Amino acid sequence: MRKKWTIREIYLAFLAISLLIFGGYSMFFNHEAVDYSSIIYKVNPDIVKTEKINKSPLTFKVYTKDNADKFYFVTFTEAVGYQSTIEVMTMINTEGNIEQVEVIKEGETPAFFDKVKAAKYNEKFTGLTIFDPIYIDNAKGYAGSSEGIDTNNKVDGVSGATISSAAITKAVNDGTVVVADKYFDENVINPFCKFKFGLNELALLLIYIIAALSVYIKSITKYRKWILLYTAIVIGFYFNKFATFGMIYSFLSGSWPAINNISWYLLIIGTIGLILFTGRNLYCQWICPFGATQEAILKFGGLKQIKLDAKLVKLFRLIPPTLAYLALMIVFYTNETQSLAYDPFGAIFNLTALPIMWMSLPILIFISLFQYRFYCTYFCPIGLIFNLITKLRNGVVKLWKNEKVKA
């Protein structure tokens, strides 16, 4: 007979069940139909008539009050940004030039997207032609980068928010290439759909290979401190590649980026693949730049570790699921994903974060001087989810082996 459930188990079960209920309701029943015509009227008050002419991407022919015979094409497209799907409206005149670009929906980390707004990024597209691809400047290593391409049909990427600005540029291209093809008989290739395997993808792939080999080649652990140093400096500070709560939510909700976003697929699909193959959470152990940074702080700080009381540890271990639960419930209720951005990764690696993260980062760094991976253990939603997948995988494998023995 199974022992009675503990208060901790009941609490975690409540979190899990209520998340499934509200998450399922939010996903399948709480979606209001979007009136895109109303959005067009709201964004551009000069529009007096709309006519839907294409379904994918959603495209309208719109008319203004100044000239009843003059019309524009308006497309609605989307792309996955730093931690959310960004939806964009693009207005194109009959000469094939962009008249207006507006972001109509996004759930990016406010600290990042505020830079995009401050740079008036949407206005940079005005006047560009749809008969050539639109590239993004100052985005070395990204698909769609203007690096090495002689073109004036480009926009300047926003420093510190390159992922978000690249997503907007991709979304605009997704609309303009279809309009150019269907209504102007011009074949234009979206540069953001091309595969680009650069140094940042290579650097990330290398650490994944090392992590996988560590399971089978035990001698690799002798070089662990140097590998973690590489992870922190190269992967974290130089290339800014790390998994976020928002990325995992995008994966679970089906909002996947273009297949050429190799880094995203390595961080999410690659990590889950490693877990399923090896039965270990290798991301937290070898790949996470912030985990590596915390270990480096502890190592070089040289302070004696403080052992926490066992009861306090059990209480602290309820913090990660509680924070993740609250963040997800806010997302389900508001349909906005900003609440998922409570991790400190942006603050330490991009120098961009919410104010609360700037306030908590010094505390986390200080505690890391005498506590092994304090944030990872007691706050991180990434570790929580990857560890849960690991436990589920190992539980299924164990059950399958037991059934195989019985047979």
pLDDT, tens digit (0-9, with 9 covering 90-100), for 72-88: 999 999 998 887 889 99
Lowest mean pLDDT among 193-207, 218-232, 296-310, 312-326: 296-310
Query: Does residue 249 contact residue 331 with C-beta atoms inside 8 Å?
Result: yes
Q: Which carries the bigger pLDDT value, residue 347 or residue 86?
A: 86
Give the β-pairing of 71-80 and 85-92.
Answer: antiparallel
pLDDT of residue 228: 92
Tell me the mean pLDDT in the region 43-55.
89
Tokens of 335: 């349909």
| Confidence band for 322, pLDDT divided at 50, 70 and 90 | very high
Phi-psi label, residue 211: left if phi above 0, alpha if psi -120 to 50, beta otherwise: alpha
- Cα gap 170→189, rounded to integer Å: 11
| Confidence band for 270, pLDDT divided at 50, 70 and 90 | very high
With 70 as the cut, is the pLDDT of residue 2 above it?
no
Tell me the mean pLDDT in the region 175-182.
94
Tell me the mean pLDDT in the region 232-249.
90
The percentage of the chain sitting over the pLDDT mark of 90, rounded to a whole number, equals 46
pLDDT of residue 392: 93
pLDDT of residue 260: 81
With 80 as the cut, is the pLDDT of residue 402 above it?
yes
Please give the model's pTM, rounded to 2 decimal places.
0.84
pLDDT of residue 347: 76
pLDDT of residue 348: 82
pLDDT of residue 96: 94
Q: Which carries the bigger pLDDT value, residue 4 or residue 400?
A: 400
Residue identified by tokens 């590596």 is 292
Tell me the mean pLDDT in the region 195-206.
87
User: Which residues lie across from 63 on neighbouring strands?
Assistant: 49, 71
What is the H or E stretch that residue 296 is in? helix 289-301
Tell me the mean pLDDT in the region 315-330.
91
With 80 as the cut, is the pLDDT of residue 108 above it?
yes
| Confidence band for 30, pLDDT divided at 50, 70 and 90 | low
pLDDT in tens, 144-161: 888 888 899 999 988 878
Tokens of 219: 């001698």
pLDDT of residue 407: 65
Helix (H), strand (E), coil (C) string for 175-237: HHHHHHHHHHCCCCCCHHHCCCCCHHHHHHHHHHHHHHHHCCCHHHHHHHHHHHHHHHHHHHH
Q: In what order do the strands lie in the sheet with 98-105?
A: 47-54, 58-64, 71-80, 85-92, 98-105
pLDDT of residue 32: 66
Contact partners, residue 299, CB within 8 Å, separation at least 6: 225
- Cα gap 399→395, rounded to integer Å: 6
| Confidence band for 286, pLDDT divided at 50, 70 and 90 | very high
| Confidence band for 233, pLDDT divided at 50, 70 and 90 | very high
With 60 as the cut, is the pLDDT of residue 1 above it?
no
| Confidence band for 3, pLDDT divided at 50, 70 and 90 | low
Q: Which carries the bigger pLDDT value, residue 108 or residue 62?
A: 62
Lowest mean pLDDT among 26-35, 160-169, 233-242: 26-35
| Confidence band for 31, pLDDT divided at 50, 70 and 90 | low
